[in-house]
Amino acid sequence: MTESTLSTETAATAYDGDPVFELHRGGKMAIAATASVSDKASLSMAYTPGVARVCTAIAEQPELAHTYTWVPNTVAVVTDGTAVLGLGDIGPAAAMPVMEGKAVLFKEFGGVDSIPICLDTTDVDEIVETVIRMAPSFGGINLEDISAPRCFEIEDRLKEALDIPVFHDDQHGTAVVTLAALMNALKLTGRNPESTRVVISGAGAAGVAVAKILLEFGIKDLALLDRKGVISSTRSDLTASKKAIAEVTADVTGRAGSLADALDGADVYVGVSGGTVPEELVATMADDAIVFAMANPNPEIHPDVAHKYASIVATGRSDFPNQINNVLAFPGIFRGAIDVHASSITEGMKLAAAQALAALVGDELSADKIIPEPFDPRVGPAVSAAVAEAARVDGVARA
């Protein structure tokens, strides 16, 4: 036994008996065979010489790979470890438990197989090239925990280069579930999108994606803020992604200034920043306000404070009502896209997913129930069916 092995085992004993570490011991997933190889006949079909017939058929008709391999039902969960949960840039090795967890959720909630891939590079060109080269092994690419603004360029370039779904869950999964919850919150408070004023705090991957999907939904008055205040073209410090979103948000409404300026009279607050909003600012929001404080584990506005001024409150936590949880979206989105061999995931498919989630609440709709629970067995099938139909409507379905 090497010195390295001994030191690793010694370090691991510090966590003996901890149920979380015990659950993770050896990892949370494994590869399982679907074909039995128990005698010469089955061996000759699963491997040589029988497998050669399948390879030859696929070489002649590449589309047969969708029928005779696991490729179409297998997603790569790709990260560089630069924006892991609320932990930040902890690197690819430390990111693996999260990517394994994502793979487990894909399987449990969508019946989708996935492989966690943690890349030891943060270079945009290298990440894009690596994913493109391994893409023939997968039916979809789920980008995960890659820091902004790099994540925007990586996703855009991969979508341009590949003819399989590419989906950055930190952006679009968050956006879909947020929109679903907001649809029902607006219904409860008697608001319509065109006259609702929204403030989004946090201009990273999630904040920008939430802003874009809310605009698609019909929100007209939207202010997106970073640490320096409202993102508008009056500022000289904007990245390309922030300048682009400024042109369709604050530049349209003429809003500028600080969080205090933006929140005064606002109908909706969406927090994806990890910061803290003082209570006196929450108190300036409109009557029957809606507060989605989604930072984990510490919401930007604690629910006890939010409820003093808001009619509807949601967080990213499971111990409060109305959890905004990405698991409600991404398994069903990929399931639906894979089922119709979609070449991409369109804005229409995301909107359809949000509408399907919102509709599931039905007669249970209340201030404490604006979104389904993650373990509601209807969620995956409803989202996948809506996404598949939207893919057909948008012309990206190939089956």
pLDDT at residue 1 in the model: 46
pLDDT at residue 8 in the model: 59
Name the residue with higher pLDDT: 23 or 127. 127
CATH number belonging to the domain at 171-337+345-398, selected among 3.30.70.141, 3.40.50.720, 3.40.50.300, 3.40.50.150:
3.40.50.720
pLDDT tens digits for range 118-137: 999 999 999 999 999 999 99
Q: Do domains 70-164 and 171-337+345-398 have the same CATH topology?
A: yes
Is the pLDDT assigned to residue 215 strictly greater than 50?
Answer: yes
The DSSP call for residue 385 is: H
Q: Residue range 177-188: average pLDDT?
A: 98
Is the pLDDT assigned to residue 285 strictly greater than 70?
Answer: yes
Q: Is 15 a catalytic residue?
A: no
Fold for 70-164, please state it: Rossmann fold (3.40.50)
pLDDT tens digits for range 30-63: 888 989 999 999 999 999 999 999 999 999 999 9
Q: Which of 47, 68, 228, 308 is catalytic?
A: 47
Q: Which of 28, 40, 68, 102 is catalytic?
A: 102
- As a whole number of Å, the end-to-end CA separation of the chain is 53
Query: DSSP characters for 170-189?
Result: HHHHHHHHHHHHHHHHHHHH
Is the pLDDT assigned to residue 7 strictly greater than 70?
Answer: no
Query: DSSP characters for 52-70?
Result: HHHHHHHHH-GGGHHHHSS
Q: Residue range 94-115: average pLDDT?
A: 96
Is the pLDDT assigned to residue 2 strictly greater than 80?
Answer: no
C-alpha distances (whole Å) from 121 to each of 73, 95, 156, 357 are 27, 13, 18, 36
pLDDT tens digits for range 219-269: 999 999 999 999 999 999 998 889 999 999 999 999 999 999 999 999 999
Name the residue with higher pLDDT: 390 or 23. 390
Residue 136: burial class (beta carbons within 10 Å; 0-12, 13-18, 19+): exposed
Mean pLDDT taken over the chain? 94
* Predicted model pTM: 0.92
Which two structure tokens, joined as six digits, stand for 97?
Answer: 């438990």
Q: Is 47 a catalytic residue?
A: yes
Q: Residue range 278-291: average pLDDT?
A: 97
pLDDT at residue 172 in the model: 95
pLDDT tens digits for range 358-374: 999 999 999 999 999 99
Which two structure tokens, joined as six digits, stand for 45?
Answer: 């079909």
Q: Which amino acid is at 186?
A: L
Q: Where are the domains of the chain?
A: 70-164, 171-337+345-398
Which residues make up each annotated binding site for (S)-malate? 296, 325
